[in-house]
């Protein structure tokens, strides 16, 4: 019911109660003027007199709650306007203690069968699709407002802290140990040979330039010794790659395995090697390249998520919807999961109440404090004033009956 309708009902009830007061007053006056008509007039007069007094007393009592009767500053009247701040504080504490009681709300949550209702709700395809759409749209909106530089920095710091906490050389030793245990050193050496050969083939210009810079100045440039040295280097790399590919028992494999074993021991036990590894790791983490890599990683991830979240039929939305539907099936059939979700709901309710219950009460108090005394009075009167007019009506009737009983008893006495 809106305030306008409440105001109409309040005025109607006020007119009814006041009209009843006027009626019994008129009856009292008429009965006082015509007392000689008969014995029964005394009963009417007694009823009307007591009813009039009861009506006036209750009118005074009801009016005194909201304002001064007849505008007279009578003590203990206009209770609500004079005690607005106290009412605001009491209302906030009342709501906090009676409506935001954690134990009572937890009992109510247990009766709701949260897991069962959630399961039935999620198993409806349109509901899971709605949630998936909402999640994707929320993700898209979030991606639009996030600061890319801050996110990139956050990823870098998280990665740096995680890597910094892990000793470098023991980790490398474990990786090498796994490679040795699984007999993968042959494949690794062969791959290294392929990479080295390919690098020599694709960097002919820079290699020849470096060789030429190292040659003595007295060697004539026309000899093209740098070309010959480069060709010998390339032939040696190709030959080594062919030999390693053709001979599984090539001596270089054994030497490489011995080298790996030596590295593993040094990486694990040599303090100097471990210190150099930590220094190298620290330099790597402080290198600007790491910031660029994390920034590029975030940009690629953001682009992918944005594309997936904005497309109506994207795989992201479909995956979310399928996952929610599957969750509904699990909750419907698995008692353990139902118990777990109910427990989560209880914990969440308890946390919210304990964390924000006092804030909710304070919010009510602060809101009421921002209202003027007249506004508080008007709101409370619109809410309860109509029912309070029944006190006036009941006071008129009960007062009249009480007066009639007293008059009758006085006749017998």
Provide mean pLDDT across the span 110-139: 83
Q: What range does the domain containing 52 cover?
A: 3-82+371-412
279 alpha carbon, distance to own chain's centre = 42
302 and 377 belong to one structural domain: no
Assess contact for 333 and 340: CB atoms under 8 A: no
Q: Is residue 90 part of a domain?
A: no
Assess contact for 207 and 230: CB atoms under 8 A: yes
Count how many domains the chain has: 2
Is the pLDDT higher at 104 or at 265? 104
Least confident range from 60-64, 75-79, 281-285, 397-401: namely: 281-285
pLDDT at 350: 86
**Measured over all CA atoms, what is the biggest interatomic distance in the chain, rounded to whole angstroms?**
157
Q: Is residue 99 part of a domain?
A: no
The pLDDT tens digits for 55-78 are: 999 999 999 988 888 888 888 888
DSSP conformation class of 217: T
Domain termination residue (choose one: 255, 276, 306)? 306
402 and 257 belong to one structural domain: no
| 206-226 b/e (C-beta count within 10 Å ≥ 16 → b) | ebbeebbeeeeeeeeeeeebb
62 and 180 belong to one structural domain: no
Q: Is residue 280 part of a domain?
A: yes
* % of the chain exceeding 70 in pLDDT: 89
176 and 280 belong to one structural domain: yes
274 and 402 belong to one structural domain: no
Q: Is residue 137 part of a domain?
A: no
Query: What's the CA gap between 220 and 22, in Å, rounded?
Result: 134
Query: What's the CA gap between 31 and 47, in Å, rounded?
Result: 10
Domain termination residue (choose one: 250, 275, 306)? 306
Alpha helices in 270-372 (DSSP H): 271-286, 288-310, 315-333, 335-370
* % of the chain exceeding 90 in pLDDT: 15
Provide mean pLDDT across the span 114-139: 83
155 and 272 belong to one structural domain: yes
- Other beta carbons less than 10 A from residue 58's beta carbon: 23
Q: Is residue 210 part of a domain?
A: yes
156 and 274 belong to one structural domain: yes
Q: Is residue 363 part of a domain?
A: no
48 and 178 belong to one structural domain: no
Question: Following CA atoms 128, 133, 135, 140 in sequence, which dihedral angle do they give, to the nearest 10 degrees?
Answer: 170
pTM (2 d.p.):
0.49
- Average pLDDT score over the chain: 81
Q: Is residue 317 part of a domain?
A: no
Query: What's the CA gap between 273 and 201, in Å, rounded?
Result: 34
Domain termination residue (choose one: 287, 306, 325)? 306
62 and 195 belong to one structural domain: no
152 and 297 belong to one structural domain: yes
Q: Which of 223, 240, 122, 118 is nearest to 189 (CA)?
A: 240
75 and 154 belong to one structural domain: no
Assess contact for 192 and 200: CB atoms under 8 A: no
154 and 281 belong to one structural domain: yes
Q: Is residue 43 part of a domain?
A: yes
């Amino acid at each position: 019911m809106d305030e306008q309708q409440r105001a109409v009902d309040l005025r109607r009830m006020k007119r009814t109660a006041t009209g009843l007061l006027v009626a019994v007053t008129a009856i009292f006056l008429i009965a006082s003027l015509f007392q000689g008509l008969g014995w029964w007039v005394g009963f009417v007069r007694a009823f009307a007199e007591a009813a009039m007094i009861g009506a006036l007393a209750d009118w005074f009592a009801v009016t005194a709650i909201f304002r001064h009767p007849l505008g007279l500053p009578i003590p203990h009247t206009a209770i609500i306007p004079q005690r607005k701040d106290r009412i605001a504080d009491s209302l906030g504490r009342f709501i906090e203690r009676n409506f935001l009681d954690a134990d009572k709300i937890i009992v109510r949550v247990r009766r709701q069968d949260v897991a069962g209702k959630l399961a039935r709700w999620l198993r409806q395809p349109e509901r899971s699709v709605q949630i998936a759409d909402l999640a994707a749209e929320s993700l898209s909106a979030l991606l639009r407002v996030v600061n890319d530089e801050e996110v990139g920095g956050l990823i870098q710091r998280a990665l740096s802290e995680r890597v910094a906490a892990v000793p470098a050389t023991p980790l490398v030793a474990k990786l090498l140990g796994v490679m040795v245990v699984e007999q993968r050193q042959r494949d690794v050496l062969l791959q290294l040979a392929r990479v080295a050969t390919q690098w020599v083939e694709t960097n002919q210009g820079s290699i020849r330039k470096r060789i030429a810079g190292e040659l003595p100045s007295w060697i004539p440039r026309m000899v093209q010794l740098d070309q010959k040295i480069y060709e010998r280097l390339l032939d040696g790399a190709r030959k080594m790659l062919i030999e390693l590919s053709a001979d599984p028992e090539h001596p270089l494999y054994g030497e490489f395995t011995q080298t790996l074993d030596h590295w593993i021991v040094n990486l694990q036990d040599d303090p100097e090697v471990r210190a150099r590894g930590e220094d190298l790791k620290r330099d790597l983490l402080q290198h600007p390249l790491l910031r660029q890599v994390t920034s590029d990683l975030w940009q690629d991830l953001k682009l992918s998520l944005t594309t997936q979240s904005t497309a109506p039929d994207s795989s992201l939305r479909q995956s979310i919807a399928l996952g929610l539907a599957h969750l509904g099936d699990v909750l419907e059939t698995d008692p353990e999961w139902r118990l777990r979700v109910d427990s989560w709901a209880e914990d969440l309710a308890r946390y919210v109440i304990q964390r924000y219950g006092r804030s909710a009460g304070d919010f009510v108090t602060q809101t009421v404090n921002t209202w003027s005394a007249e506004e508080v009075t008007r709101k409370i009167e619109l809410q309860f004033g109509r029912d309070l007019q029944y006190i006036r009506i009941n006071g008129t009737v009960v007062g009249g009956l009480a007066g009639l009983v007293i008059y009758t008893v006085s006749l017998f006495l």
